[in-house]
Amino acid sequence: MTQSHIAIVDCNNFYVSCERVFNPQLCNMPVVVLSNNDGCIIARSNEAKALGIPMGAPYFKWKRMIEDSGVAVMSSNYALYGDMSSRVMQVLAAIAPAIEIYSIDESFLDFSNLPDTLNPVDLADRLRQQVAQWTGIPVSIGMASSKTLAKIANRLAKKNPSKHGVANLTDPTEIATTLAATDVEDIWGIGRRWARMLKACNIMTAADFRSCSDSWVRQKMGVVGLRTLHELRGIPCVSLELESPDKKSICVSRSFSTPVMEHAALTDRLSDFASRAAAKTRKTGLVAGYITVFVRTNRFQKDRPQYSNAVTLTFPEMTAHTADILAATRQGLAHIYRPGYEYKKAGVLLTNLMRQDMTPQSLWTHAGSPKTLIVKEKRNKLMQAFDGINGRFGHGSIAYGIAKRKNNWFMRQEKVSPRYTTRWEDLPTV
């Protein structure tokens, strides 16, 4: 049997690295990236981490310290980050035998069947150099016999300068030493609740956890915990997902930079969210059976009246058509809107997603009749035209009249960088 050898490629401080590619002045200085509406800190450079700036901290609480320390602050630019992620993954896919895209900045690679003449560490070095040369993004690579051990190896590659960004965790002595230095809560798959339980049982490190008996872990943590235990012992239990599974739900929601009270203004926002959700659903080749519309006030403002509510509606026929989703959104908002409240967040959630060619047909829609098929074909062509125009000229270039009003409520992004790779007007000039 071929020995399993899994690698994980993780982009270093990804959002910050994307900003630095097109703004070299940010290199070697502390940088933070903010979330939607410039609310919280969601990415930090190593220099910012060294200053003690925590992940997820509200920006306003650290603003004075950030300004005094000369930290560069950037608003999130998800168009740039998404495109740069795609470029990194394309480089990896062109070289690696098999790839699972795990997140926007992480991928698992299968090195199990490499030729004897090809050393895994040499291939990892080549990948690092190629990604850096072709995209400008620095990456770290960890390798081991299982995904869980590879995640720990990746952490070692980042933290230990002597590894030069690549750690191959296969030597039993090095594995034991590394696990003994790894906090139990840093094990992939061990959440806060399990970490608290394990530490209460005096299980403090990954090495302590690995020495637990199968029966004890199965009793306390179930099959998932037992799988993690075996992975730490080098027994692969979590295989690579070479094809991404279909989404179970699609949600588009936003926190507003300023509270919204009027029904018309809230309708405008939710109509835009519904249009985005519909486009995302079509892009994945899916249709939705249910829609949930939700609104809520700012729960942190205890001195203001509080209200939150949601409603779930069923589509008569599963759909990804913008008109259907817009109509249901407006119907849902009519059910839950209450005047007199300052709404801080709203959103649209599409669920019960499935492939369009696998949807059950209604007995009442005459799905197979020539007239119905013609109508469906026209509706599909209309949405293809929508998506084509918006894909070429940007979201909102064409929209239904109820959604196409003047939008003056965009997210607060006071420090956003240009969309260097996805917008013609923002292309860098040399």
The architecture (CATH level 2) of 14-79 comes to 3-Layer(aba) Sandwich (3.40)
Q: What is the DSSP letter of 246?
A: P
Spatial separation of the C-alpha atoms in residues 293 and 270, rounded to whole Å: 8
Q: How far is CA 258 from CA 60, 74, 250, 338, 343, in A?
A: 15, 20, 25, 18, 9
**Residues 279-291: pLDDT tens digits?**
999 998 999 999 9
pLDDT recorded at residue 417: 85
Spatial separation of the C-alpha atoms in residues 264 and 314, rounded to whole Å: 24
Helix orientation angle between 214-232 and 192-200, rounded to the nearest 10 degrees: 120
Q: Which residue is it, tokens 């809107």?
A: 337
**Is residue 1 pLDDT above 50, yes or no?**
no
Both structure tokens of 101: 């895209």
Q: 81-117+140-233 adopts what CATH topology?
A: DNA polymerase; domain 1 (1.10.150)
Cα 240 versus chain centre, distance: 18
Predicted model pTM: 0.76
**Residues 372-428: pLDDT tens digits?**
667 778 888 888 888 888 877 777 777 786 555 555 555 667 788 888 887 777 777
**Is residue 182 pLDDT above 80, yes or no?**
yes
What number does CATH give the domain 250-393?
A: 3.30.1490.100
pLDDT recorded at residue 142: 96
Q: Which residue is it, tokens 């926007």?
A: 104
Residues forming beta bridges with residue 348, ordered by sequence position: 252, 293
Spatial separation of the C-alpha atoms in residues 203 and 45, rounded to whole Å: 32
**Is residue 234 pLDDT above 60, yes or no?**
yes
Q: Where do the domains of the chain lie? A: 14-79, 81-117+140-233, 250-393
Return phi, psi of residue 148, to 5°: -65, -45
Q: Report yes or no: 32 and 11 within 8 Å, Cβ to Cβ.
A: no
**Residues 124-151: pLDDT tens digits?**
999 999 999 999 999 999 999 999 999 9
**Is residue 14 pLDDT above 80, yes or no?**
yes
pLDDT recorded at residue 301: 85
The DSSP code sequence of 308-340 is EEEEEEEEEEEE--HHHHHHHHHHHHHHH--TT
Task: Name the residue with higher pLDDT: 87 or 38.
Answer: 87
